[in-house]
A and B are shown apart, each in its own frame.
Chain A
Amino acid sequence: MTLLLAAACRPMHLSDLGNLARVIWQFLSLSLFSLGGGNTLLAEYHHLSVDKFCWLTNSQFADLYALAEAAPGPSSMIVGLLGLGAGWPEGPFWALLSGYGAELAILLPSTLLMVMACLSWRHLEHSPWRHAFERGMGPITLGILFAVGLKILRTADTGRDGHLSLPGVLVSLVVCVLMLRTRISPLLFMAIAGLLGAFGIINR
């Protein structure tokens, strides 16, 4: 199955600069669709980097997601890691350039819009557009977040044989419940699950 998947996904060969430009363009055009924080875009990131352009394998994507969640700073910095992965075959210099470029690209449009919003907030605050947007986008964000959660779950807990790993799914469900019911730091869950992985209880 792995071989089959690997064979199905062939990265298109572009020049170094062409690849960089494509990375930047893809993230620029997604930026304004990051509703309700950056996490609504995670499934799109997966689609781009695993299915469409073959920058990463399924498990690499899951690893990078975990890395971005565990590291300090906003977890939306995963985009930089995806850029890094996209440029990795071209050597560290292009990889880093692509990482920084990807992060700038995803942030630039939303930042410019945010600046304009701040400067004109007095006019926007009581506008019907604002109320409709705020109330209307909420349910859509909710639907997207559930779809993203399911996508990440499938990505993370699918073994190299293409089947869902039962211990992995169980750990994910337990962590999900604990995230909702307690205020324990997710880093602790990751550390414990990492140990379970080291002892071979969770594998892929």
Chain B
Amino acid sequence: MLQVALSAFGGGLSAWSQRIVVEQKRWMTDEEFLTGLTVARLFPGPNQINMAVYIGTSFRGLPGALAALAGMLLVPFTLLMALGVLYFSVHALPAVDRVLAGVVAAAAGMALSMGFKILHEYWKDPVALLLAALVFVGLAFGHLRLVPVVLVSGPIAMAWYWPRGEASR
């Protein structure tokens, strides 16, 4: 887990962990691993962390999940906390602030690309695009908060996409 986490600079994690978990350690089959990815994406929580929980659970249930989480997070998180302490100690220095002004512009570009990355999956579904547009407008311009938006739009979307059986399709 640690090996996987440390090599996860900016994504690409699932390919790495698949190599280690399936090919090197033979902890689970390819199929089990892919099921895990599906479950990890479906349920709330960061995908990579959910994947670690899945792998841990398949071994030992809850204790296994907690062990996998600890193994995956402890070192990178402690490292990040150290960086955070350093940041809060020096961020007021003008030189640091100037560099960061540039870095955050690049990071904002990454954030902006997230939506575009999955847009093509919904391109042929006008209802999905409408839902997405309503959620976007509500959050970005209507100053609505995420929790009520999800609580209202979620059930509507689920009702619309409720499987209707093969005959009616």
Chain A: residues with CB nearer than 8 A to chain B?
30-44, 47, 59-60, 62-74, 76-77, 80-81, 84-85, 88, 92, 95-96, 99-100, 103, 107, 109-111, 113-115, 117-119, 121, 128-153, 155-157, 165, 167-169, 171-176, 178-180, 185-187, 189-190, 192-198, 200-204
Query: Across the interface, do B83 and A143 meet the contact criterion of CB distance under 8 Å?
Result: no
Known contacts A141-B118, A144-B146, A175-B110: A115-B158 contact under CB 8 Å: no
Query: Across the interface, do A77 and B140 meet the contact criterion of CB distance under 8 Å?
Result: no
Query: Across the interface, do A142 and B132 meet the contact criterion of CB distance under 8 Å?
Result: yes
Q: List the A side residues contacting B103 at CB < 8 Å.
A: 63, 66, 70, 190, 193-194, 197
Most buried by A among B109, B136, B160: B109
CA distance A179 to B125 in the complex (A): 25
Q: Beyond the given A71-B79, A143-B139, please list 15 additional residue pairs across the A-B interface where CB-CB is below 8 A.
A: A43-B146, A62-B107, A70-B10, A73-B73, A113-B45, A115-B57, A136-B158, A140-B153, A143-B132, A148-B111, A149-B115, A155-B108, A185-B9, A193-B106, A196-B105
CA distance A114 to B58 in the complex (A): 12
CA distance A178 to B154 in the complex (A): 32
- Nearest first, the 3 A-B pairs at minimum CB distance are A197-B102, A175-B109, A143-B135
Q: How far is the CB of A130 from chain B (nearest CB, A)?
A: 7
Q: How far is the CB of A122 from chain B (nearest CB, A)?
A: 10
Query: Across the interface, do A115 and B110 meet the contact criterion of CB distance under 8 Å?
Result: no
Query: Across the interface, do B146 and A41 meet the contact criterion of CB distance under 8 Å?
Result: yes
Query: Across the interface, do A157 and B108 meet the contact criterion of CB distance under 8 Å?
Result: yes
> What's the tally of chain B residues with a CB closer than 8 Å to chain A?
95
Query: Across the interface, do B116 and A156 meet the contact criterion of CB distance under 8 Å?
Result: no
Q: List the A side residues contacting B146 at CB < 8 Å.
A: 33, 40-41, 43-44, 144
Q: List the A side residues contacting B127 at CB < 8 Å.
A: 139
Q: List the B side residues contacting A64 at CB < 8 Å.
A: 84, 87
Q: List the A side residues contacting B85 at CB < 8 Å.
A: 84, 92, 95-96
Query: Across the interface, do A157 and B105 meet the contact criterion of CB distance under 8 Å?
Result: yes
Chain A interface mostly helix, strand, loop or mixed?
helix
Query: Across the interface, do A146 and B136 meet the contact criterion of CB distance under 8 Å?
Result: yes
Query: Across the interface, do B150 and A140 meet the contact criterion of CB distance under 8 Å?
Result: yes
Query: Across the interface, do A121 and B105 meet the contact criterion of CB distance under 8 Å?
Result: no
Query: Across the interface, do B81 and A80 meet the contact criterion of CB distance under 8 Å?
Result: yes
Residues facing A in B50-68 (CB within 8 A) are 50, 53-54, 57-58, 61-62, 65-66
Q: How far is the CB of B59 from chain A (nearest CB, A)?
A: 11
Query: Across the interface, do A74 and B46 meet the contact criterion of CB distance under 8 Å?
Result: yes
Show 22 residue pairs from A and B whose CB-CB distance is below 8 angstroms, ordered by the A residue.
A34-B46, A35-B44, A38-B46, A41-B146, A59-B104, A64-B87, A67-B84, A76-B46, A80-B77, A84-B81, A95-B88, A96-B81, A110-B43, A118-B36, A118-B53, A139-B129, A143-B132, A148-B115, A156-B107, A179-B110, A190-B107, A196-B105
Q: How far is the CB of B151 from chain A (nearest CB, A)?
A: 9
